[in-house]
Amino acid sequence: MADKVLPPRPKDPKDYSSNWKRLASEQEIADFLKQKRRDRKRKRPREDSTAPPTTPKRTIDDRRSLVRGPYKGKTDSVAIDCEMVGIGHSGKESALARVSIVNSHGNVLYDTFVAQKEKVTDYRTFVSGVRAKDVRHAPKFDTVQREVADLLMGRVVVGHDLRNDFTALMLSHPKSKIRDTAFYKPFQALNKGNKPSLRRLAEEFLGITIQRFEHSSVQDAQAAMAVYQLNKTEWERNRKGGLT
């Protein structure tokens, strides 16, 4: 008796008809599927085992680097940062537009925009991140100033180039309770004795990139606090020894 002649084999297993499945042996189908798997493997590009692994650069969005604990209450040290807008001719004069304060863990204690008494001639949005809608119904300067003063009273205040922030707030603070990352001498040594930028310090100590686009006073305050906390033991020891 002559062997049965099978109809042409379908290109894809899902196209098998019940008649073809009945006529073909299980071994033939298994061989066909095995060949399909081999074909797929050959088409798949091989990974270059010699290429170094790529590590994505961490940015400010990596919150683990900036919020360093769950506690959200007031602490003995806080960090502050302010954003300014321009008023007057050509917007060269600065006016306080946003204030952010975080605790020693990086959690936000205070964050508000500030209403403007004078006409804003330059929102400096590319740096400040402030827009007209942000300050339109914001609290008045006197209210913000009072609330910030109450929150800073008796606490160590951390920040970067704090004299600008205190000037904008029209406040002062005891020098013994200021930890300014712009004027800490070991940090200045990283920049040939000059003030380092907060961005440089964040890259150096936290391994993150900040201020890539519009600034955020919350994130800048968190970065300053994180840098301080990493160097706190040596910083405070240097202060007691009269080295800073």
- Over 50: is that where the pLDDT of 24 sits? yes
Q: Which amino acid is at 164?
A: N
- Over 70: is that where the pLDDT of 113 sits? yes
- Over 50: is that where the pLDDT of 141 sits? yes
Q: How far apart are CA 94 and CA 166, in angstroms?
A: 13
pLDDT tens digits for range 158-192: 999 999 999 999 999 999 999 999 999 999 999 99
Q: What are the DSSP calls for 53-67, one per residue?
A: PP-PPPBTT-GGGT-
Question: Where are any strands of DSSP class E within 143-233?
Answer: 156-159, 178-180
Interaxial angle between packed helices 141-152 and 162-169, expressed in degrees from 0 to 180 and rounded to the nearest 10? 130
Is residue 211 very low, low, confident or very high in pLDDT (cuts 50, 70, 90)?
A: confident
Residue 23 phi, psi dihedral angles, 5° rounding: -80, -35
- Over 80: is that where the pLDDT of 10 sits? no
Delineate the domains of the chain, giving CATH numbers in brackets. Answer: 63-240 (3.30.420.10)
pLDDT tens digits for range 31-49: 666 666 676 656 544 444 3
pLDDT tens digits for range 50-83: 433 333 344 444 445 699 899 999 999 999 999 9
Give the residue with greater pLDDT, 55 vs 207: 207
Is residue 90 very low, low, confident or very high in pLDDT (cuts 50, 70, 90)?
A: confident
- Which range, of 5-19, 83-97, 127-141, averages the lowest pLDDT? 5-19
Q: How far apart are CA 120 and CA 89, in angstroms?
A: 10
Q: Full-prediction pTM beyond 0.85?
A: no
Is residue 240 very low, low, confident or very high in pLDDT (cuts 50, 70, 90)?
A: confident
pLDDT value at position 16? Answer: 53
Interacting residues of 39 by C-beta distance below 8 A, sequence separation 6+: none
Question: What distance, in Å, lies between the first and last C-alpha atoms of the chain?
Answer: 104
Q: Which amino acid is at 132?
A: A
